[in-house]
Amino acid sequence: MNRWVGVAIVAISLLMGCSFATEEELEASLYGQYPSLSLSDATYLIKVAHSQPIIIEAAEIDVYNKEHKAVITDGVFTQSDEKGNLLFRGSFGRAIVHTDNHNMSLEEGVEIHNITENLTINAHKLFWNNEQWTLTGDADQYTSIMNESGDILFGVGFFGDFAKATYEFITLEEGVLHYE
């Protein structure tokens, strides 16, 4: 009986010495390991096919070399042409970059301003295909497009082809277009 009491005391002591992982520790072990590189207040450059790089300023960047991914938190980005003229700017809460092909999943309040087209795209989550220069949203996810003339389209299943400057929805939910 004394032996079981002793075992119980040791077990309770061990359990009391344990702690649960914090949210930061869980994030760090996103891919089952700690990041290969973790940076704060850092800049990340993404090579874009046939164009100048996208420059991301971020609160945190965690690089996972083995998984070929980078997790970027609280980012703002810009892209300029070869003469330095601003083409795009935007922001997101979190992005997962595939470091082998530079495709990105953008999440948590994505906002993209296409300066040359005078368009603003807003969504909770979008996926950037770097090679094809396309931006897509889930078939059931709402996305909005606005321009400076006051036109606004709101729908689900967004698809944007930035090489052709075409934007479409699987289902257009509502919108306002001004004609002159």
Say if residues 75 and 57 touch (Cβ distance below 8 Å). yes
Position 95 in a domain? yes
- Report residue 180's pLDDT band, with 50, 70 and 90 as the boundaries: low
In a domain, 103, yes or no: yes
| Residue 16 belongs to some domain of the structure | no
The candidate with the shortest Cα–Cα distance to 145, out of 106, 180, 172, is 172
- The per-residue pLDDT for 18 is 44
> 119 versus 7: which is more confidently predicted?
119
For residue 63, what are the domain limits? 22-176
For a pLDDT cut of 90, what percent of the chain falls above it? 44
d(CA 38, CA 18): 26
In the chain, the number of structural domains is 1
In a domain, 99, yes or no: yes
B/e letters for 21-44, b = 16+ CB within 10 Å, e = fewer, are: eeeeeeebeeeeeebeeebeeeeb
Residue 15 inside a domain? The answer is: no
Tens digit of each residue's pLDDT (9 = 90 or more) over 14-40: 444 444 445 555 455 555 678 888 889
State pTM to two decimals. 0.76
As given in the structure block, the two tokens for residue 156 are 């689900």
Tell whether 13 is covered by a domain. Answer: no
Q: Give the pLDDT confidence of 156-174 residue by residue, as tens digits.
A: 999 999 888 889 999 888 8
Looking at the domain assignment, is residue 11 inside a domain?
no
Q: Check residue 135 and give its pLDDT.
A: 92
DSSP letters of 62-115? Answer: EEETTTTEEEEEEEEEEEE-TTS-EEEEEEEEEEEEETTT--EEEEEEEEEEET
Residue with tokens 């042409």: 81
- CA–CA dist 36, 34 (Å, integer): 7
Q: How confident is the model at residue 133 (pLDDT cuts 50, 70, 90)?
A: confident
Residue 105 within any structural domain of the chain: yes
Rg of the chain, C-alpha, whole Å: 22
CATH number at residue 60: 2.60.450.10
Q: Which long-range contacts (C-beta less than 8 Å, at least 24 apart) are formed by 144-147?
A: 145/119, 145/120, 145/121, 146/119, 146/120, 146/122, 147/117, 147/118, 147/119, 147/120
Does 92 score more than 70 pLDDT?
Answer: yes
